[in-house]
Structure 1
Amino acid sequence: MNASFRKWAAYRKGMILSNRIDDLTASFPPNERFRLTDQICRSASSVCANLAESFAKRRYPKHFIAKITDSYGENCETQMWLDKALARGYITNKQYKEHNDLADEVGRLLHFMEHNPDHYAKKSNTK
């Protein structure tokens, strides 16, 4: 089965962000491996993981919206970790802006999904 969530703009942009975060954190100090590095990589990946779960729950609007909300929360958490990485001097202002702008775009797409669940709902074959 070709899961349609891969066609969603929020998923595609979220995956780009997640992969870029993975690359970005490769230069973080080793002492951050089990703190900031793991946290930011986990939250960025969770955006897409929650979108995939929402696809399976799209028949039930409240469950769908809950997973979209979880995804939005993980995206916000990713932005907080970017704030921390900037404050600690692990990333440049340019890197921060590039990644934060992409996270903002993902957030806008998730907001649309949350407020338009019928657009993503599984169509019922029953009459």
Structure 2
Amino acid sequence: MHRFKELEIWKRSRLFCSEIYSLTSKFPESEKFGLTNQLRRASVSIPSNIAEGSSRQSNKDFSRFLQITLGSAYEIETQLLIANDLNFITNSELEDAISELQEIIKMVSKFKSTLKF
């Protein structure tokens, strides 16, 4: 079992989640139950799956939750691109968010590869 609060990937993804909430707060009200909700849910999923996976008794189970985490990250990337296409976020905001997301993806992937099972 891992202490998720000590994992850098959990800390960083938690901060990223806050950034997504801030970014989506500027989306049109008509997107409240659309893209805003989708992005927020997917961003919450990242640190949540890391935390839940860390409680599992085996590294194999934890690895499965990290794979779900990666899926959420790629979902966010797609949704950010769509938000940019719709002019809800600027190119700069898109680049910043995707840059941070890519770092999280790398960290999760590397951590996942170190789990022995």
TM range (shorter): over 0.9
Which ranges in structure 1 are unaligned for 5 or more consecutive residues? 122-127
Identical pairs, percent: 22
The number of residue pairs the alignment matches comes to 116
Q: Please report the TM-score for the alignment, with normalisation by the length of structure 2.
A: 0.94
Which ranges in structure 2 are unaligned for 5 or more consecutive residues? none
The residue number in structure 2 matching 1:55 is 54
- For residues 13 and 102 of structure 1, what CA distance do their matches in structure 2 show? 9
The residue number in structure 2 matching 1:76 is 74
Instruction: Please say if 1:12 is aligned against 2:11.
Output: yes
Shift of 1:61: 2.1
Q: Work out which of the residue numbers 105, 112, 115 in structure 2 matches 1:114.
A: 112
The residue number in structure 2 matching 1:35 is 34
**Runs (4+) off by over 2 Å:** none
The residue number in structure 1 matching 2:64 is 66
Q: Please report the TM-score for the alignment, with normalisation by the length of structure 1.
A: 0.87
Question: 1:59-108 CA distances to partner (integer Å, 9 max, x unpaired)?
Answer: 31221110000011111111111111101000001100111100000000
**CA RMSD across the alignment:** 1.3
